[in-house]
Amino acid sequence: MIQERLHQLREAMKQADIDCYIIPTSDFHNSEYVSEFFCVRKYFSGFTGSAGTLVVWADEAALFTDGRYFIQAAAQLSGSGITLMKMGEPGVPKLKEYVEQNLKAGQNIGFDGRVVTAGDGVEYAKIAEKKGGHVICDLDLAEQIWTDRPALPSTKVYLLEEGYSGERTSDKLQRLREKMAREEADVHILTTLDDIAWLFNLRANDVECCPVLLAYAVITKEEACLFANASGFGEQELAALRENNITLKPYDSFYSYVASYCGDYAGAKIMLNEKRINYRLKTEIGEQAILLDRPNPTTRMKAVKNSVEQENLRKVHLMDAVAVTKFMYWLKTNVGRIPMTEISVDQKLEQLRREHASFIEPSFHTISGYGANGAIVHYSATPESCAKVEAKGMLMVDSGGHYYEGTTDITRTFILGDITDRMKQDYTLVARAMLRLMNTRFLYGCTGANLDLAAREVFWEKGLDYKHGTGHGVGYLLNVHEGPNSFRYKISDMTEDWVFEEGMITTDEPGIYIEGSHGVRIENELLCRKGEANQYGQFMYFENLTYVPIDLDGIDPSAMEPKELDAINRFHQDVYEKLAPYFDGDELEWLKQVTRKI
Amino acid sequence: MIQERLHQLREAMKQADIDCYIIPTSDFHNSEYVSEFFCVRKYFSGFTGSAGTLVVWADEAALFTDGRYFIQAAAQLSGSGITLMKMGEPGVPKLKEYVEQNLKAGQNIGFDGRVVTAGDGVEYAKIAEKKGGHVICDLDLAEQIWTDRPALPSTKVYLLEEGYSGERTSDKLQRLREKMAREEADVHILTTLDDIAWLFNLRANDVECCPVLLAYAVITKEEACLFANASGFGEQELAALRENNITLKPYDSFYSYVASYCGDYAGAKIMLNEKRINYRLKTEIGEQAILLDRPNPTTRMKAVKNSVEQENLRKVHLMDAVAVTKFMYWLKTNVGRIPMTEISVDQKLEQLRREHASFIEPSFHTISGYGANGAIVHYSATPESCAKVEAKGMLMVDSGGHYYEGTTDITRTFILGDITDRMKQDYTLVARAMLRLMNTRFLYGCTGANLDLAAREVFWEKGLDYKHGTGHGVGYLLNVHEGPNSFRYKISDMTEDWVFEEGMITTDEPGIYIEGSHGVRIENELLCRKGEANQYGQFMYFENLTYVPIDLDGIDPSAMEPKELDAINRFHQDVYEKLAPYFDGDELEWLKQVTRKI
């Protein structure tokens, strides 16, 4: 089947004069998750992993993917004639090196420029140019071949009322235009879906786990055009657009609109974030306009939660904590008595979250990892592979919910029976790191690169580490991973990492992963707040939002410093005070016990 | 006298068609210290402070300086007709705003382009252009007026033998040319004196406290030209230049050489650090060349001390520690018995350093601050103002030496009698911060922005801070302040702040400054070393170089965490073991006592 599809693709390539066709895994908006419409790489290769790039030539094809997927890809590519390129392995060229090595003189590179970033597209164009060929980027060859392709998603669009968003679209547009004026921009082009959803106070369900609509936006001093499928909009939403002077245009008219705008207004100053746009947009803008390459102002604006959002988030985190803590009670009192799997416990947790009326959907695919599976950072249980959960060892559950009052993200690792001393030491270390960062105070001006050490130093002093950031920003009923704020120490990652502002929300989630044995991660969300201002400047601190007990069965108090013991006791006292009104009887007794002073 | 000088300057300005003449405080190389030849601002204003810019118009003049000098400048400008502009005070315009506000249509701005950075020069040119005037930057108007001006310094140049430098000039040049090849540069222009001294293994005494020679350098793939005054070179030094294919050219032929090179080789790719060159050089290069704006490769190369330099530095730090510890003994046993002042104790310390044969000179002006003077970060005692040192309170001494085996920088605060509880708490806090950073372990990839927190967090948790970086890089018989490595948390400062490499040396010097009362600073130097490499990466640690006791009379052990107590005890045990061979009798007994376990 795959060979037949590739054969058709090669015919289409011949027709279009394309010698090398590149199919990455992305949508038109550089989103973290993509819908079925965009699974072109899966269609032509049979490989179902979440990351990979297929490169097709007249007589061969190669799939590039990373270490998470080597085994799965090898199995799924078997018999397809596609070579698996194991990224990062010795002797395996990088994707672009491979393309350059194999492209012959005069040959052309093709791809759908809408699913390739501007940066990558520029590099492919350079490679083609070196060989005397060129890039063809305005064709989606899957269109003619993939006859039963799912439609582009176009779910119901809904308004986020001011009681949830805390700021009217007209005010957001005004703030954006003030920023445009300061940058002397004539027009601002926005293609990232979370920025657009935030700016227009609109939500939908076009991308799994991220309540956005597929859309582009073009904002000038007077006009705002939203390019989206009108069929998703109800009367109320259309009225809101009119009220705010926003013109709704067809989703697929965006590129021609930009091209014609740039033709009409040669020399216009266009503000956009070159790192986030696709190559097709870059080619449509061409050379006539002056590009002001800036982070999208909305990225910083939406990262700073306003007082309405903050108040909603406090409430919804409490509701979420009630659900997760009841899950903890259920899990710890029933494990070993009733059958459980990694997937069934996740279902139980989702059911408890759904009891809250404003729950919409999970904010990402739960990572439910039991025993050695907890050591796989990006683990995702499948019905075939998922482990039984038994009354021993540890279960790590990283999950979250989208609610009208905001988005949550929490990890707890639960002790289900006997654990080894090593596990207890690891568990204690992770808890110490999480609490230390949570209790950090700092002067205004710090970024996540300054503060990452607060969590990581207790790891580093033991020669340990975790190979991921300590935390990421979280959207409000938007992406669960949202910049620019984060906790990470590598400066190279920090280009868009900005100073912590009051109102920013960041996760605090150190972890330890012992291959083949166990994993521990503990994650709270932290709201950045202003503290004392004195002669030294404005001090800042983090308000904890996550009130779920840290499993004391995993804690060795003798391995904690006095101030860390004080921190966990204060935290548990807060947990008890916040949660007690929602618990009674045996559950309340249990809550008192699991939040006891140690 | 000042008025007469200004009158002559205004005559010269008229002649040169200059309406606004700007005189900053700098030399041709953007050095931290400047010699008498360059004190033009002092000549025309009478103001002797180390920082300030004089702006002269046909009928007025203004001097811009910062808060350290408001009182001194007001006194020294009295009667000169020059207006004092207190930088940073409310209502006082910034220097360039002031120039722009006062420059009339068609007026020209003049300055000696050699003492103005390229960045500043470009901004002045923009201001002039806006007003329809232009910039005149190739004249030094002081030349004609200041008849008894000291000559340009031209001290004896000497070779730093391989036993001190650890690397031959030919090898350094080769490494530099490899870097040039990677950057595809045809030529590299170097104007910073420390880079030039390091690259050519030459030292001299042209700048106070910094053993460099006034020079420029132009390096191509085949040639290396050194522009310096030949009279300072002996036969041995000239032979070394010939051996390494280095052409010595007159210092003042540099600008015409560059102009003629750029004319001959239009389109040449010139690598230089635009932030560090002066405006005159930029204008001589003009538009014909392609500028590759890069940090000077030598800056990073010289920051990483080779094994010979490291071994020399260990030895010389021990000799320096013997001198400072003997000073501590003298100070603490004699204070209150014999007369002492801030200056006389510094003289005693220098005398003890001079006992070591390879001592050359102090590496900077000692900060010797007694009592409330210790709270002034940039304090410099003068014969008129210097305080008596008595048997009470605290004395802070920040000092260092240049030796053939390298440069030292150390601060100790000594307890001379009774101190208040607050002083003891502050002293203990500073010691804790210094020790915490000294004992930090971290993964390769960290910069000073990541690690600054290790010192500062104990301050921040109490709502305290110090308004300076925690530490700076130190040169090898070169500048006592040398980048790119440093400990500081502000990201804006970090453009040239690079990852810590094994062999980099950085000071660790937190402090606290209580105005009108006291100041405490404790400073060690730390050598970055590779530690364990494991699955998480390459761990790094700091080897302490500074073995002088921390005055235990200032320490409150009950305010220290167990691991901090362990750290100070381990440190003092090392101090004792290192220093004991150099002490005997009462001094040895005393040393045992001041390095005791607490």
8 A C-beta contact, residue B386 and residue B342 = yes
8 A C-beta contact, residue B83 and residue B52 = no
Q: In this predicted structure, what is the pLDDT of residue A439?
A: 98
Cβ distance of A465 and B537 shorter than 8 Å: yes
- DSSP output for A379-438: ----TTTPPBP-SSSEEEEEE-EEETTEE--EEEEEE-S---HHHHHHHHHHHHHHHHHH
Which of B441, B454, B460 has the CB atom closest to A442's CB atom?
A: B460
Secondary structure letter of residue A208 according to DSSP: T
8 A C-beta contact, residue B487 and residue B497 = no
Distance from B562 to chain A by nearest Cα, in Å? 9
Which of A450, A464, A490 has the CB atom closest to B452's CB atom?
A: A450
Which of A450, A562, A563 has the CB atom closest to B449's CB atom?
A: A450
Which of A443, A451, A562 has the CB atom closest to B465's CB atom?
A: A443
H-helix or E-strand spanning residue A44: helix A40-45
Question: Taking CA atoms, what residue in B is nearest to A448?
Answer: B450
Which of A465, A499, A534 has the CB atom closest to B443's CB atom?
A: A465
Chain A residues 451-490 with a CB less than 8 Å from chain B: 451-454, 457, 460-461, 463-465, 467, 489-490
| Inter-residue long-range contacts of B267-273, CB under 8 Å, 24+ positions, other chains counted | B268/B186, B268/B187, B269/B184, B269/B185, B269/B186, B269/B187, B270/B185, B270/B186, B270/B187, B270/B188, B270/B189, B271/B180, B271/B183, B271/B185, B271/B187, B271/B188, B271/B189, B272/B188, B272/B189, B272/B190, B272/B191, B272/B296, B273/B192, B273/B299
8 A C-beta contact, residue A504 and residue A302 = no
- Give residue-wise pLDDT tens across range A365-408: 999 999 999 998 778 888 877 899 999 999 999 999 999 999 99
SS3 (DSSP) at B53: strand
8 A C-beta contact, residue A204 and residue A211 = yes
Cβ distance of A465 and B536 shorter than 8 Å: yes
Q: How would residue A493 be classed by pLDDT, with cut points 50, 70 and 90? A: low
Give the side-chain half-sphere CA count within 13 A for B457: 21
Give the side-chain half-sphere CA count within 13 A for B302: 31
A530 and chain B in contact, CB less than 8 A: no
8 A C-beta contact, residue A281 and residue A273 = no
SS3 (DSSP) at A296: coil
Q: Give the least confident one: A287-291, A340-344, A376-380.
A: A376-380
Q: In this predicted structure, what is the pLDDT of residue A496?
A: 47
Bridge-based pairing state of the strands A109-110 and A135-136 = parallel
Q: Is the Cα dihedral A141, A145, A147, A150 positive or negative? A: negative
Q: In this predicted structure, what is the pLDDT of residue B492?
A: 59
B499 and chain A in contact, CB less than 8 A: yes
pTM for the structure as a whole: 0.91
Q: In this predicted structure, what is the pLDDT of residue B380?
A: 82
Cβ distance of B453 and A454 shorter than 8 Å: yes
Which amino acid, B66?
D
To the nearest whole number, what is the mean pLDDT of chain A?
94
Cβ distance of B454 and A457 shorter than 8 Å: yes
Residues 6+ positions from A458 with CB-CB distance below 8 Å = A429, A432, A433, A436
Distance from A440 to chain B by nearest Cα, in Å? 7
Chain A contact set for B563 (CB, 8 A):
561
Taking residue A472's Cβ as centre, other Cβ atoms within 10 Å add up to 21
Tell me phi and psi for residue B58, to 5 degrees: -60, -35
8 A C-beta contact, residue B362 and residue B380 = no
Bridge-based pairing state of the strands B83-86 and B61-65 = parallel
Residues 6+ positions from A125 with CB-CB distance below 8 Å = A109, A134, A135
- Give residue-wise pLDDT tens across range A398-440: 999 999 999 999 999 999 999 999 999 999 999 999 999 999 9
Q: In this predicted structure, what is the pLDDT of residue B141?
A: 96
Q: In this predicted structure, what is the pLDDT of residue B171?
A: 97
Question: Can you tell me the distance from the alpha carbon of A40 to that of A159, in angstroms, rounded to the nearest whole number?
Answer: 32
Q: Can you give the pLDDT of all 598 residues of chain B as single tens digits?
A: 899 999 999 999 999 999 999 999 999 998 878 889 999 999 999 999 888 999 999 999 999 998 878 888 999 999 899 999 999 888 999 999 999 999 999 999 999 999 999 999 999 999 999 999 999 999 999 998 999 999 999 999 999 999 999 999 999 999 999 999 999 999 999 999 999 999 999 999 998 889 999 999 999 999 999 999 999 999 999 999 999 999 999 999 999 999 999 999 989 999 999 999 999 999 999 888 999 999 999 999 999 999 999 999 999 999 999 999 999 999 999 999 999 999 999 999 999 999 999 999 999 999 999 999 999 877 888 887 789 999 999 999 999 999 999 999 999 999 999 999 999 999 999 999 999 999 999 999 999 999 999 999 999 999 999 988 999 999 999 999 998 999 998 865 555 458 999 999 999 999 999 989 999 999 999 999 999 999 999 999 999 999 999 999 999 999 999 999 999 999 999 999 999 999 999 999 999 999 999 9
Chain B contact set for A490 (CB, 8 A):
445
Mean local confidence (pLDDT), A37-50? 93
8 A C-beta contact, residue B103 and residue B57 = no
* DSSP-assigned beta bridge partners for residue B224: B219, B246
Question: Taking CA atoms, what residue in A is nearest to B533?
Answer: A463
- DSSP output for B266-307: TT-EEEE-TTTSBHHHHHHHTTTSEEEE---HHHHHHHB--H
Q: Is B586 exposed, middle or buried (0-12, 13-18, 19+ CB in 10 A)?
A: exposed
Bridge-based pairing state of the strands B224-227 and B246-249 = parallel
Cβ distance of A489 and B450 shorter than 8 Å: yes
Q: In this predicted structure, what is the pLDDT of residue B496?
A: 47
8 A C-beta contact, residue B437 and residue B470 = yes
Mean local confidence (pLDDT), A546-572? 97
Percent pLDDT > 90 in chain A is: 89
Secondary structure letter of residue A33 according to DSSP: S
Question: How distant, in Å, are the alpha carbons of B178, B188, B299, B497, B531 from that of B222?
Answer: 12, 12, 21, 31, 39
Beta-sheet strand order (sheet of A367-370)? A367-370, A394-399, A410-415
Which of A441, A452, A536 has the CB atom closest to B450's CB atom?
A: A452
Could you write out the three-class secondary structure of A372-389?
Answer: HHHHCCCCCCCCCCCCEC
Q: Is the peptide bond before B484 cis (omega within 30 degrees of 0)?
A: yes
Could you write out the three-class secondary structure of B326-368?
Answer: HHHHHHHHHECCECCEHHHHHHHHHHHHHCCCCEEEECCCCEE
Question: Can you tell me the distance from the alpha carbon of B38 to that of B50, in angstroms, rounded to the nearest whole number?
Answer: 12
Question: Can you tell me the distance from the alpha carbon of A308 to that of A164, in angstroms, rounded to the nearest whole number?
Answer: 7
Among A106, A96, A15, CA closest to A62: A96
